[in-house]
Structure formats: structure tokens, C-alpha cells
Chains A and B, each alone.
Chain A
């Protein structure tokens, strides 16, 4: 009897651990993709439903660079991030700039329109099939951590999330650009009158946000597979993360990603037949209790 219960306990521990690792990896991928959305939403007050489309574009470029051009994984990431930013610049200049400060409905429609266009074009250019980004040798196998082994790409995703969080923290808290960014988030008009060129701050943070989305799209391609409807399928998830965390708050977004990642992954493991029921129930509960998000500031 003691032996059996020990086995059961061991089994439970194993389940908890693998759910935990999966949740952490998923949460970190969500974080890398949606942190840019959170910052731009806090800064420019644009409900940007097309953010997932940029993550998808990054994934497509990386897939094309590795599969067709034979680039290295690292080089492909760089090419994809830069390529996505180059694609995003005219979109920002000609479309987004017209909806800064517009009512939410207008912003929603414009960005849904952009998303539909991107889906249609991606489908036309790359076809409706799933695209893979082959991982390098070092990320392919499992990694032995002593007590158990974990897929290396999940560890890589977690590491990327931690690195992005640390880099963003440094950028925003310790550099002069970060000071200007925080000033613009708090009060754009006052920052502008004090000599901050808010237009440049907007443009740079939009580029960083898009670049991070592309990076997250590539790193998370194993968990959120790249296909034309990617932009529509995860659009809601990214928006939910920002809303739950509080727009413009990095710790909030991190907390929201870990929490929602944990709820979603646990739900999938334990009650798969309920689908995303508990995920959305949790979202409603959190947003009702914290209408500004978990760590969002009241205005």
C-alpha cells in the first residue's frame, strides 16, 4: 500500500511539473508577443487587433528564410524581425497614424481590416498549409535537468521571455529613451511641451513592439503554429492578456501571461472537453474585478 500511494504521489508530481513547464513556456511566448501590444496600447491608446498579424508575418519570413534560403536559425530570426519592422513602417505611417485618438470602434474596424488583408495575402502567397521553422540541433532534443528532462525549445522560449522582460525593464527604467517613453505614457501633451519629440517616441516604440511580436511569433512557432488564420485565432488571446494585465504595465503583462498560461494549460490537461470555457470564465472574473487590469493605473 505505501508503495502504491508513493507511486501515485510521484505521478501527481510529474503531472504538476510538466503542466508547470508547459504553462511557463506558453506564458512566456504570450508575454514576448503581447508586451509590445501592451506598451503601444498604454502609449498611443490604440486597440490594435492586428498585432497578431505581425507575429504571423515574422513566423512566415523566418520559415521562408530557413526552408527556402537555407539560413541559420539565428540569422533567420534577425532577418524576420528586421523584415517585419520594414513591412510595418509604411503601415504605421499611412494607416495607424490616422486612428490615434479615434474612437475605439474606428480603431477596431481599421485593425480588423488590416488583419483580414494580411490573412488573405499570406494565404495567397504561402498557401493554406501549416509552416514550420526547423529548429537547430541544439534546441531539438530534450535537456536533462537532473530530476527530469524537458524539451529544449520550451526552455529556450522561457529564457527568451526572461531576457525580453529584463531588457525591457532596463530600456524603460534606466535609459533616457525610457524616461521619455514613461513621460509620454503619463501625459503626452505635457511631455511634448517639455521638449520630448513624442512622434519619434511613438514610432520607435511601435517598431520595437512589432519586432518583439515577430520574435515571439518565431520563438513560439512550436506552441502557436504558423498558418494563415494565426492572426485571427490568437488575436483575442493577445488582447485579453493586455486587458487583464493593464495596458502599459510590463509587470502586469508578465503576471497576466503567467496566470492565463497556467489557467489555459491546466484546463487543457485536466478538463480538455471543456475547451477554453474556464479560460474565458477567468478572464471575465478578472476584468470585472479589475476593470483597469491587474496592475493598470487608474486614470
Chain B
């Protein structure tokens, strides 16, 4: 029922093109303004802000498969870590230290990991799908641990020294360049994903989420479409991993962990699935909150996250963004 209402509600918005264009431009402006505010409010904490942006790319990529295609996955850090290791190994072992090239290598690495894990995960449904995704991330983790000649094993891969961006902006000690680089990457990715999710392909993915049998009856390939989305998602997650590798100059095994996968999924649901803004809002609020509370006591942090999760599931199943949106709509309805 909810889906039918959703579609009918969004139809008028799509028929008048300038409306959504204006809305997207406003959204983009809001992102840039928030990024600038972050820069001026926390000039000594830019490393944290950069890390948030890297994880935001991971959460966006989970949103692509979970929010838009309805695939429940607890193993998406495999793609993030694959991108991070791909760009890190390219820099350390093959001398590719141009940051833009490293991002491309990371995106390709993530996309390849997306093909592999998508091919495995899409074979199952429900519980089997969840277990397959968990098994995939553990498999990647153990493989990276074993291949310590390339990945540094449990010590992590260090010695990544990226060149200046465009040969001009060197990565400084305060992380200003890294932050600017990260904001640019997130904004570009956001625009690309906005176009993809609005394209016929994005609509097809939403259709598969609602009713795969009907989509198959229409003559579209369900598995092929989902695998394509998995590859796109892998490229986005790999970009996030590469950004993380470039800004921290080290890649650890924790970037391939089940914990990171689960946390990223929690961030997505906190913000709200099925919307790119929700993914960004969820990441920023979760990680800022984590930094704030875990400085006080790491164990209370777990208790609070647990309670927060239960509260979101019970009282705000559409996440912060979805709940805020419906609140605004109700307010507007009353005003009329």
C-alpha cells in the first residue's frame, strides 16, 4: 500500500522537470554549505570530517543495493576494503601515486569486488542472502590477512604517499587538501548517483524492489539489472575506500570487517533507506555522535547505539530523513 502511495505522490514531481532540478540544486547547495560550515567550525578536526565523507560514500553505495534494490547485505565493507587495498597497493607496490589515478584504481577494484560478491550474494534470498554476504566479507578479510606480502596483513598497509592534487595542492598536515578533495569526490558522486537513480535503469531497480516477478514478466532481466547495480555500488564504495587510503595514508584490515559493514548499514537505516540524502544524514549524525560519546566511554557507546537502533526500528522506521520529510509534509498539509 505504502509503495502505491509513494509512486502516485512522486508522479507530479517528475512530470514537471524544473521542479526536481531546482530541488536537486538546492540539495547540492545545502551539502556544500554544510561542508563549508564543518570546515570553519572544526578546523582542528578535519581528519574526522574526511573520514566521515569516506564512510558516507560506503553508506551511499549500500543505499544503492539495499534502499533501491531491496538486497539486505551485512558484507558491504568487502567492496570498500577492496577499493582501499587496490589504491593502496597501486601506490605502494606499483608507484601510482597520483591521487586521481588512485581513486580510479580504487573504483575499479571496488567494481571488480562488486562483480564477485554480487554474483555470490544474488544467488540467495532472505536468510541465505544475509549469510552469503557475511561469508563474503569474512572471506575477503581472511584473504587480505593471508596475502600479507601485498597487504601488510594485520600490521596494515602503510607508506602510501599521494602526490599533490593536479600537481598543485599538496596533502598537508592539517588535512585541508584531503578535506577539499573528499568534498569534491562526494559531490561528484552524489550528482552521478542522482542521475543514475532518476534514469530508467534506476526506476527498473526500484521496480525490482517492489515486485521482481512482475518485472520479469515485463521482460527485463532481474539478475542482470541487480548485478549492474552491484557493480556501480562497488565503484562508489571503492571510491570511498580509495579516499580513505589517500587521506589516512594507511589501509588496515578493519576496512574489510563485518563490524564496519554492520555499522554502515546502521548509519543508512538511521538516516533512511532509499534516499541519497538519508544516507548522508545518517552517516554524519552517527559518526559525529560516535566521536562525541566514545570519547567519554566506549562501552556506554555500544549500549547507546543499541538503544538508538531499537528506538529507530520501533518509532522511526523510515529513518531521520524519512520521518523529517513526513513531518514537513504533514505540517504543509495543515497549513493548506
Binding site for B on A (CB under 8 A): 41, 47, 95, 98-99, 104-106, 108-110, 112-121, 123-124, 128, 228, 232, 236, 239-240, 242-244, 247, 273-277, 280-281, 283-284, 287-288, 291-293
Known: A108-B265, A109-B313. 8 other contacts (CB 8 A): A114-B310, A115-B306, A117-B303, A120-B299, A240-B135, A243-B130, A287-B124, A291-B124
**A-contacting residues, B291-323, CB 8 Å:** 299-310, 312-314, 317
Q: Of A116, A123, A276, A291, which is in contact with the most chain B CB atoms at under 10 Å from its CB? A: A116
B146 touches A95 (CB 8 A): no
B305 to chain A, nearest CB (A): 5
The residue on A at minimum CB distance from B140 is A280
B300 touches A120 (CB 8 A): yes
Residues of B near A242 (CB, < 8 A) are 127
A239 touches B309 (CB 8 A): no
Residues of B near A115 (CB, < 8 A) are 306
Residues of B near A116 (CB, < 8 A) are 302-303, 305-306, 309
B303 touches A284 (CB 8 A): no
The residue on B at minimum CB distance from A284 is B135
B126 touches A288 (CB 8 A): no
The CA-CA distance from A120 to B131 in the complex, in Å, is 25
B130 touches A239 (CB 8 A): yes
The CA-CA distance from A237 to B154 in the complex, in Å, is 22
Known: A114-B310, A123-B302. A280 touches B139 (CB 8 A): yes
A275 touches B145 (CB 8 A): yes
B74 at the interface (CB under 8 A from A): yes
B187 at the interface (CB under 8 A from A): no
Residues of B near A291 (CB, < 8 A) are 123-125, 128
Binding site for A on B (CB under 8 A): 66, 72, 74, 120, 123-128, 130-132, 134-136, 138-139, 142-143, 145-146, 258-259, 262, 265-266, 269, 273, 299-310, 312-314, 317
A46 to chain B, nearest CB (A): 10
The CA-CA distance from A275 to B131 in the complex, in Å, is 18
B134 touches A236 (CB 8 A): yes
Known: A105-B269, A120-B301, A243-B131. A288 touches B123 (CB 8 A): yes
The residue on A at minimum CB distance from B312 is A109
The CA-CA distance from A239 to B143 in the complex, in Å, is 22
**Of B74, B132, B300, B306, which contacts A108 at CB under 8 A?**
B74
B38 to chain A, nearest CB (A): 27
The residue on A at minimum CB distance from B307 is A117
A276 touches B303 (CB 8 A): no
A104 touches B314 (CB 8 A): no
Residues of A near B304 (CB, < 8 A) are 120
The residue on B at minimum CB distance from A279 is B138
Residues of A near B300 (CB, < 8 A) are 120, 124
Known: A121-B303, A284-B136. A112 touches B262 (CB 8 A): yes
Residues of B near A281 (CB, < 8 A) are 139
Residues of A near B142 (CB, < 8 A) are 274-277, 280
A243 touches B266 (CB 8 A): no
A199 to chain B, nearest CB (A): 20
The CA-CA distance from A2 to B165 in the complex, in Å, is 70
Residues of A near B309 (CB, < 8 A) are 109-110, 112-113, 116
**Of A119, A277, A284, which contacts B302 at CB under 8 A?**
A119
A120 touches B303 (CB 8 A): yes
Residues of A near B259 (CB, < 8 A) are 232
Interface pairs (26), CB distance under 8 Å: A104-B127, A105-B72, A109-B309, A109-B313, A112-B266, A117-B306, A118-B306, A120-B306, A123-B299, A124-B299, A124-B300, A124-B303, A239-B130, A243-B131, A247-B127, A274-B142, A275-B142, A276-B138, A276-B142, A277-B146, A280-B142, A287-B123, A287-B132, A288-B123, A292-B128, A293-B128
B335 to chain A, nearest CB (A): 32
The CA-CA distance from A242 to B134 in the complex, in Å, is 14
Q: Of B74, B134, B259, B306, which is in contact with the most chain A CB atoms at under 10 Å from its CB? A: B306
**Of A95, A119, A288, which contacts B132 at CB under 8 A?**
A288
Which 6 A-B pairs give the minimum distances between C-beta atoms? A120-B303, A113-B309, A116-B306, A117-B306, A120-B302, A277-B142
A114 touches B306 (CB 8 A): yes
Residues of A near B303 (CB, < 8 A) are 116-117, 119-121, 124
Q: Of B127, B138, B142, B269, which is in contact with the most chain A CB atoms at under 10 Å from its CB? A: B127
